[in-house]
Amino acid sequence: MLRRGIFFAHRELNWLLDEYDKGNKFYLYTGRAPSGGMTLGHLIPFLLSKWLQDKFDVELYIQIPDEEKFLAKKNIKDIEEIRKIAYDNVLDIIALGFDPKKTKIFLDTEYASVLYKQACRVAKHITFSTLKDAFGMNNDSNIGWIFYTSMQAVPAFLKSVEEGHNVPCLIPLAIDQDVHFRVARDVIDKLGYYKPAILEGKFLPGLNGASKMSSSDLNSAIYLSDDHETVIKKVNKALTGQQATVELQKKYGGDPEKCMVCQYYKYLFEPDDEKLEKIFEAERNGTLLAGEHKRDLANRINTFLDEHKKMREKMKSRIDEFIVRA
């Protein structure tokens, strides 16, 4: 993902790695606001976090802000309902194989007595006018949502509070989350902690070519709970950017950047760069045809999801090894 530019930008990664070389270990922090089932796209920052955790042997904090979507979205009316979704999402996350000894997961509403105090320290330094600029809030924004960003800031310095000395923090995230930390980094600095370093990821495009998988277009996203038939159906409808007929395709070829099947290989389903380049080349020169291309991708997705569902079942009895409450 780093090599392929799926994580394409950063804040102060050089500093963080220099500190690591000096023996000053960092910890990782990422999160997921529950509102519904998780899709393949949602996994991207978690997959990178898993790789970083293994590679650098570091701790990972995962925030599950179970109040965020309740506060931010008009259509979410029941905060109790979110709790169930939150635990379902946690299962999907731990199914990726995180090490329970090095991974702490918390729901904001269950860890509030730890988080709230620190959030207040952050909130005191953020004015409403800053948030109007950063998030496009206005006088009609509800005050819970206005406060929320200070909750998301806390895990970026929480370990420093716990340890009593500064610990560097690295946050892998999808680019839309950067705005929270653009605001929080200055405040965290004012509080006397290290500003967190950030790795900024792109969204997995929707199968229909939309730049982000949208939950309003169910066909554009693969849910982790989708069965084989559903995956095959969705992948069959994917935008391939290929020519209108087999003849034209063979003559002119297609564009792998516009072909969602190629993009899914690039993001998640073909780890080998040489093989990926062969697929892209075949797409360009028209020898790769949509039908077989789609069948192969659907197979890979289904193999991944089968394994994922098995892991999910296995982890059901182990959730409490990860969750911290206060």
Stretch that binds ligand TRP, among 30-38, 118-126, 248-256, 294-302 (CB under 6 A): 30-38
Nearest alpha carbon to residue 211 among 192, 239, 233: 239
Per DSSP, the three-state class of 94 is helix
From the list 28-36, 79-87, 116-124, 271-279, the region that binds ligand TRP by CB under 6 A is: 28-36
Cα pseudo-dihedral 282, 286, 288, 294, rounded to 10: 120
> Which region among 26-34, 52-60, 74-82, 236-244 touches ligand TRP (by CB under 6 A)?
26-34
Nearer Cβ to ligand TRP (34/254): 34
- List the one residue from 1, 16, 28, 33 that touches ligand TRP (CB under 6 A): 33
> The tokens of 122 are what?
């952050």
Q: Beta partners for 3?
A: none
CB of 261 to ligand TRP, least distance (A): 27
User: What phi, psi does 201 have (nearest 5°)?
Assistant: -105, 155
How many separate helices (H) and strands (E) can be counted in the chain? 14, 6
Nearer to ligand TRP, 169 or 222 (CB): 169
Q: Does 63 bind ligand TRP (CB under 6 A)?
A: yes
Question: How far is Cα 181 from Cα 178, in angstroms, rounded to an integer?
Answer: 5
Binding range to ligand TRP, per CB under 6 A, among 49-57, 60-68, 97-105, 209-217? 60-68
Closer CB to ligand TRP, 198 or 297, in the complex:
198
Residues 68-127 touching ligand TRP, rule: CB under 6 A, are: 68
Residue 6 makes CB contacts below 8 A (sequence gap 6+) with 44, 201, 202, 266, 267
Q: Which residues bind ligand TRP (CB under 6 A)?
A: 29-33, 63, 65, 68, 152, 171, 173, 177
